[in-house]
Amino acid sequence: MNEVDGLSRPATRDMWVSAGYVLVAVAFVFVPAVGIEWRPASSSLVLIGSIVAAVVLGIAHVFRRSLPGAVVVISVVTLVTEAAVTGTTSFGVVLLACDALYCLVISRSTPQTWRLLPALAAGCLSLAVVGLLLTPVLAAPLVQMTILLLAVGVTLWWGVSVRIPMNEADHERERAVLLAEAAEAKQRAVVTAERLQISREMHDAISGHLSAIAMQSAAATAAPQPLDAAELRSRMERVRTLSLDAMADMRTLIEVLRTEESGPIAVPCDWSSVTDLIEQARASGTSVTMVGDDPRSVDLDHPGGIAACNVVREALVNAAKHAPGGEVTIVITRGDDELEIAATNRCEAPSSVTTPGSGYGLLGLAERVRLCGGDLQVDRSAESWTLRACLPLSVKQEVSHA
């Protein structure tokens, strides 16, 4: 249906379908002995009355999708009027009325009426079967009513049969929407939790830098003898380095604090403890092979070191969950301005001790790496699982003042 000036206008397709129904209904008028005869009447009256009834129902039939209840009421009134005036109910008019009832069942049934419709269909069909079995002993009007009950019962049964899969599809769509919303909410919570943890780590790092600056400056001013130029320059260089580190961490903290939500705290990890992580994994039964550059030769700033350590930890945790006792290969490649970490473990056949994962750890890790200016990729295949991260190396930037 199309909306024009706030009113419902029937689509062209509905109009053509209704026109086809009218043509079929009118055609049945000219077929002898097709219809329900309640009392004898002249053939001309039956012909004119049936055609008029078919046209009236055909016009109403155009609105069977938008106003099915009203069309059903018009159909009942038309059937009663035709029977009262002509003494006959034409088959074509019954066909139009049944189609209107079918549209009402599949488009306007509610949870309350849905419980009633199967019982109503079963009741009509049961009465129709009883009436057909008792046809030899029933009066003619009761036999005609049996035919109408059969038509109504079949229509209701067909509508219920079509509506059941439609209801199931609606429920599945609603369930899919709810699941998608829940997954999105959980993803946001994971990212928020990771950002909050990063902000806490940055707060600790900045506090450490400022404390070191205070100690260096206090030591310089509290010295009993004036410092020589070389010693003073060394201490000022140290203060300058700590200041640059604090400002870099402050920029990261400002970006992280753009979100106001909170979440659970993760276990902190730093690049200096990556070898301890590997030794712990080996002690727990995971075979870890280190390839490439020595981790101690890599210079990462505080947030980058935490992110790099978490990449290694996530790879080891994933291997312990999904391939316990398997081999993990960690490749560390130090470039001119970035560090690449690639951790690969083979995917073994599922075992009884394999622990399912949610995948949200990777989501938080990707957010942490992104905030450090890096990139995280996950490569999966039937034989292996690879976690690859690229992180920028430490770059101390000059600070200019106006």
pLDDT range class, residue 4, cuts 50, 70, 90: very low
Residue 372 has pLDDT above 60, yes or no: yes
Most confident listed range (93-107, 196-210, 359-373): 93-107
Tokens of 370: 């992104």
pLDDT in tens, 253-273: 666 565 444 443 344 467 777
Angle at 342 between CA 336 and CA 348, to 5 degrees: 170
Answer yes or no: are the C-beta atoms of 63 and 9 closer than 8 Å.
no
Q: In this predicted model, which residue has the larger pLDDT, 312 or 365? A: 312
pLDDT range class, residue 402, cuts 50, 70, 90: very low
Fold (topology level) of 271-392 = Heat Shock Protein 90 (3.30.565)
Q: What's the pLDDT score for residue 359?
A: 47
pLDDT exceeding 70 applies to what percent of the chain? 68
Q: What's the pLDDT score for residue 395?
A: 44
Q: What's the pLDDT score for residue 34?
A: 62
Residue 6 has pLDDT above 50, yes or no: no
pLDDT in tens, 227-254: 677 777 777 777 777 676 666 667 666 6
Helices (H) and strands (E) in the chain, counts: 11, 9
Question: Each residue of 130-157: b (16+ CB within 10 Å) or e?
Answer: ebeeeeeebeeeeebbbbbbbbbbbbbb
Q: Collect all residues with Cβ–Cβ distance below 8 Å to 255 and sequence separation of at least 6.
A: 371
Select from 68, 75, 154 the least CA-distant residue to 109: 68
Q: What's the pLDDT score for residue 201?
A: 67
Report yes or no on whether pTM surpasses 0.85. no
Q: Would you say the C-alpha torsion 155, 161, 164, 169 has a positive or negative sign?
A: negative
pLDDT range class, residue 401, cuts 50, 70, 90: very low
3-state secondary structure of 298: coil
Going from the C-alpha of 253 to that of each of 98, 199, 264, 337, 392, the distances in angstroms are: 69, 5, 18, 22, 17
3-state secondary structure of 125: helix
Residue 327 has pLDDT above 80, yes or no: yes
Going from the C-alpha of 113 to that of each of 120, 134, 151, the distances in angstroms are: 10, 31, 20
Q: Collect all residues with Cβ–Cβ distance below 8 Å to 370 and sequence separation of at least 6.
A: 376
Q: What's the pLDDT score for residue 203?
A: 67
pLDDT in tens, 23-38: 777 777 766 656 676 6
- Mean residue pLDDT of the chain comes to 73
- The single-letter DSSP state of residue 211 is H
Lookup result for tokens 């890096």: 374
Q: Collect all residues with Cβ–Cβ distance below 8 Å to 37 and sequence separation of at least 6.
A: 87, 88, 144
Going from N- to C-terminal start, the domains of the chain cover 2-178, 181-256, 271-392
